[in-house]
Structure 1
Amino acid sequence: MNILLTGGAGYIGSHAAVVLCAAGHNVVILDNFCNSQHSVLDRLTKIVGKPMPCIEGDIRDTLLLEKVLKDYKIETVMHFAGLKAVGESVQNPLDYFDNNVGGTISLLHAMRSNNVKSMVFSSSATVYGMPNYLPLDEAHPTQAKNPYGRSKLHIEEILTDLAASDPAWHISFLRYFNPVGAHESGLIGEDPNGIPNNLVPYIAQVALGRLPHLNVYGDDYPTADGSGVRDYIHVMDLAEGHLAALNYIQQQPGVCVFNLGSGKGSSVFEVVKVFENENASSIPLKVTMRRIGDVSECYAKVDKANIHLNWKATRTLQDMCRSTWNFQKNHKCANQ
């Protein structure tokens, strides 16, 4: 199958590209490289053994998208492209709605013009907002509390309305929790521009000496060790979930939604300890005040994906920490 990956040079998109190529699909990447590097393309070539076509462009460029879909005879789209930092979205909400929502509408226009009506959409557990109960299942009310989460939720609503208007659409929303880790080769992994927003990449930067210490935002939560608990999923498990969703929607018209997570929570202190043990490192900590809006615990119920997609996260927190460090070390050496 010919598959377009919007944002395919990014963290999750690049790992999905590897999994899709291994399954025999033809992958085409479209990326504007606002939060990814061109060097990822060479690294992907080393992993899969052949170059992937890549078009540098923006999803808001509808004419470009129409040309790409036509020229490469695209049959389905995995839509990863989007801005994704919660704090930044609060500061620049218009940018987030323009890029994420406006870009998706542009993409959908191009897809409809080319009669491409199959999509796996990269959504987020942020659409749930504050948990009413745990674990979070797909029936939990959606009540996003920040512009990033609301942009994802608006896209879900647009896609739902689109599928209701035309039964030829086959769409899956994948609401994932906290992707962590890197490909086993150490060639690709999470490499954000600037200071990392996520826990494990931040820990790795501290281990490398690029950051002085890890800020722990609160140690007085009602959890086993007082620190916040989150659901971490290895990025390769997540990528395999995208392949499973792609296979599922080929026979399933309309919209379907799945949580992708490990199904269990790990605390900040637990993650730090595992990272230290697995990588023989010491991570200085500084406990500070809770951040406004943070919850004590958040983790997924993943039964639906287990049953319908025949998918389950198999990699451990230890695997996540080891692979993160392997990538960071390799990436540091490559840039020296």
Structure 2
Amino acid sequence: MSAINNQNGFQEDSRRSLDKKPSEDITEKIIAAILFCCGLVSVLTTFGIVIIMFQVTFEFFQEVPLSDFFLDTKWTPLFAERHFGIWPLISGTFLTTITAMAVAIPLGLSSAIYLSEYAQPKVAAILRPAVELLAGIPTVVYGYFALLFVTPFLRNFLPLEIFNAMSAGLMMGVMITPTVGSISLDAIQAVPNSLREGAYALGITKLESIFKVLLPAALSGITASIILGISRAVGETMTVVIAAGQQPKLTVNLMESVETMTAYMAQISGGDSPRGSLNFKTLYAVGAVLFLLTLALNIVSYWVSHRFKEKYD
């Protein structure tokens, strides 16, 4: 009987396909063509940006040797005595990024664990949108909050400069917390309940099951959220422009003013440097370094998510 039913169903599907109007086929082909063009536009736009960026970067390195760019420890392309060492900008970028992740990882992961394992469904339904609302606040607001509130408050206890890496990094961490928390929450909730029940059946506590069962099982998603947060911090602009300052220094002191790669790019984009000048070309050289850093982080995130991905039946 099942074979007869399957045969009848196949005949009905074949009859429906034959009954399909030619206008429907044309409509589907038009929709498919439109969607393909939309995808093609995004791909071509990306290729165009990359080609133009590296073309101008190549022109920059025809005037500035690679040794000066990667071995010099000073970055003063706008001064009379020019130096083109990229390391002060990389140092400022990683200094603020490390500070931000030191805030975002514990806060984001803790909020994800609470919302997934401890909060009541009604409470979680209220708190999760409230946490994710932080991601919708404009970054310029975070920057001014860091400059006008966080820095004056911290200066009561620490000898901070007006513009410093610590305040900018702390506010970036708060800003990135929803990114880390939301993706980590999805990863933890994707772990099957059978693992939780099996852990409880062995007699371990909920806290032990979280750290010994759930977090290892959701490791790929949590790691991907952290790397995505790092990429977000590396590419942040307005917060560091306002709160961290524009003094490129090769330092690890969070209390000093620093300049990140994105802050320098925002400075050059202001229009003070003539188009085609060497100062203007530094914008593309720094942008190329930033592009390669974020590309490397995305590749690592993709590799980690597939390397440690757990599959359950």
TM-score (norm 2): 0.24
Asked which structure has the greater RCO (Cα within 8 Å, sep 6+), the reply is 2
Between Structure 1 and Structure 2, which shows a larger proportion of helix residues?
2
Between Structure 1 and Structure 2, which shows a larger proportion of strand residues?
1
TM-score (norm 1): 0.23
